[in-house]
Amino acid sequence: MQEYDSPMFRMACQQFDRVADYLALPQEVRGRMKQPKRTLIVSVPVRMDDGRVVVFPGYRVQHHLSLGPTKGGLRYHPDVTLGEVAALAMWMSWKCALAGLPYGGAKGGIACDPRKMSLRELERLTRRFTQEVIPLIGGHVDVMAPDVGTNEQTMAWILDTCAMREGEARPEIVTGKPISLGGSLGRREATGRGVAFLANRAMDTLGIDAAKATAVVQGFGNVGSHAALVLARHGTKIIGVGVQDGAVYNPNGLDLAALDSHLRANNHDIANFPGGEPITNEQLLELKCDVLAPCALERAITEKNAARLKCRVLAEGANGPTTPEADKIIEERGDIFVVPDILCNCGGVVVSYFEWVQNLQSFSWTEAEVNDKLYRILEQAFAAVMHRAKREKLSHRLAALAVGVQRVADAKLQRGLFP
Ligand code: GLU
C-alpha cells in the first residue's frame, strides 16, 4: 500500500519479509500482517497563544486486531509522518506478542514541535486530537500511552477529554497517566528499567562485571535517563550521554543528577554542562564502551557508523535505532551482543499492561509487585530470544522478531478469515 511508503515503513517491511521468509509463513497471512488494519488521519486545528490558528496533521494507526485491543504510544515530533507511525505500530505488534501481552500494536503521532509550544497550546492540541480520534479509541479498542514528546500530562488531558464526552472517567482509556488518576507505580521508570535489566543480562552472558563496566546512552528523555540511572545504580560508569543537540563525555563517569538539573535549568543545552567534555552525537555513538544504549530516535546506527561502533552490548532503548544495512554489518562483525528494540524497550508496554489490568480491576499494586512481575516477563522474553537464537543460529533481532511474528501469525491462522 503506497499510502505508508517511507524509509521507516520500508525498513519495518524489510524486517518482516525476512522473518516471514524464515518462518515460511503462508502467503495468505503475510499480506494480512504487513498492512496496518486501520488508520485514521485527522487535521487538528489549534488556536495558538498569539491568536493564529495552525492545523496540525495527526495519525493513529492500528496494526492488527487479532489478539486483543491495540496498544501503543502517541508521539509529538516535527518529523512525524504516516509512514513512520505505521512502522512504529507494526513494531508494537511484534513487541507485545514477544512479551506475551494480549494486544495488537498501534501508534499515533502529531507532526508538531512540542519544544516550541506552550503548555496551553499543547493542551488544546491534545484535547482536539483526542476529540478527532475518539471513534477509534477506547479501553477495549485501542489504548494510548506516552512516546517521544508526550508524557503523563498528555495522558491526563486525553483521559479528561474522553470523560467529558462520556460523562464518566474510565482510567483504562490510556496508560502512563499520573498516579493520582490511576497510573501505575513504576510505569514512568519501566522502559529505562527494562533497558538496564536487559543490558545487565547481556553483560552476565558475556561475563562482563557490571560494576566495572562503562556505558554510553543516547537520549536523556524518559527512557535514556532512567536506563542510565539504573545502570549507574549497579555500578556501571556512564561515560557519555547525548541529547538532541549534542553530547557530553567524561571518562571518569558523568554525574547524572547534576546533568539532569543542568538540562532542565538550561533548556537542554548540553554543550555547556561543566561536568564533561562536549562532543557530537556521531562521536558519542563511536565511543569505546561496554554498553551502548541508543534511547532516542530511529535510524541512529546506519551503514555509516556500524563498522565503527566500539561497544560490546548494543541495548536498543529506542524503536528502530538500527537500519537493516547497519544490522548486516553488525551481524558480519559478530562481536556485538545486540539486545533488539522489541525486546530491549518492552518494559514500558509491559507495565502499561499492568496499569490497564489494575484499572480494569479498580485495584492497585505496590511498586515492588509491579517490578517483580516486570522482571519475570523480561526474563522470559530474554530467555525465549536467546534460546531461539542459539537453537536456530539466528541473530538476536531475527530471533526476537521470529517469536513475535509467529505468535501473531498463529493467532490469525487459528481465528481464520471472516466471513
Ligand atoms: N511508546 C512506548 C513504546 O514504544 C510505550 C507504549 C505503551 O506503553 O503502550 O513501547
What domains, with CATH codes, occur in the chain? 2-185 (3.40.50.10860), 188-339 (3.40.50.720)
> What are the residues whose beta carbons fall under 8 Å from the beta carbon of 396, sequence distance 6 or more?
337, 338, 339, 340, 343, 385, 386, 389
CA 166–ligand 1 middle distance (angstroms)? 25
Burial 200-212 (b: 16+ CB within 10 A, else e): bbbbeeeebebee
Closest residue by Cα to atom 9, ligand 1, is 72
Residue 106 in grid coordinates: 498501534
pLDDT for the residue 129: 98
The predicted pLDDT at position 267 comes to 87
> Given the CA of residue 346, which atom of ligand 1 is nearest to it?
10
Cα separation, 30 vs 266, whole angstroms: 49
pLDDT of residue 1: 74
- Probe target for ligand 1 pocket from 107, 172, 191, with the most ligand atoms within 8 Å of CB: 191
C-alpha cell at 12: 519495518
Distance in Å, CA 34 to ligand 1 centroid: 20
**How close is the Cα of 344 to the center of ligand 1, in Å?**
12
What distance in angstroms lies between residue 76's CA and the mean position of ligand 1's atoms?
Answer: 13
* CB 75, CB 58: distance < 8 Å: no
Pocket test residue of 71, 346, 349 for ligand 1, highest count of atoms within 8 A of CB: 349
202 within 8 A of 340, measured Cβ to Cβ: no
Q: Give the atom of ligand 1 at the shortest distance from the alpha carbon of 75.
A: 1
Cell digits of residue 38: 486501520
Longest dimension (CA), the chain: 65
Q: Ligand 1, from 63, 92, 101: best to mutate by most atoms within 8 Å of Cβ?
A: 92
pTM: 0.97
- Cell numbers describing residue 395: 541473530
In total, the chain counts a number of residues equal to: 419
| 419 vs 417: CA distance, rounded Å | 6
Residue 415 region, left (φ>0) first, then alpha (ψ -120 to 50), else beta? Answer: alpha
Active site residues: 107
Q: How far is the centre of ligand 1, averaged over its atoms, from the C-alpha of 96 (Å)?
A: 10
The predicted-structure confidence for 366-383, as pLDDT tens digits, reads as follows 999 999 999 999 999 999
Q: Which atom of ligand 1 is nearest to the CA of 176?
A: 8
Question: For ligand 1, what atom is nearest to the CA of residue 71?
Answer: 9
Strand 53-62 to 104-111 pairing: antiparallel
Is the bond into 135 cis (omega within 30 degrees of 0)? no
Q: What is the pLDDT of residue 86?
A: 98
Question: Tell me, what amino acid is at 248?
Answer: V
pLDDT digits (tens, 9 = 90+) for 197-235: 999 999 999 999 999 999 999 999 999 999 999 999 999
Quote the CA–CA distance of 88 and 91 in Å, as a whole number.
Answer: 5
E-strand ranges in 93-173 read 104-111, 142-146
Residue spans of the chain under pLDDT 70: none
Decide: helix, strand or coil at residue 198.
Answer: helix
Alpha helix segments (H runs only) across 222-267: 222-233, 256-265
Ligand 1 lining (C-beta closer than 6 Å): 71-73, 145, 147, 175-176, 319, 345, 348-349, 352
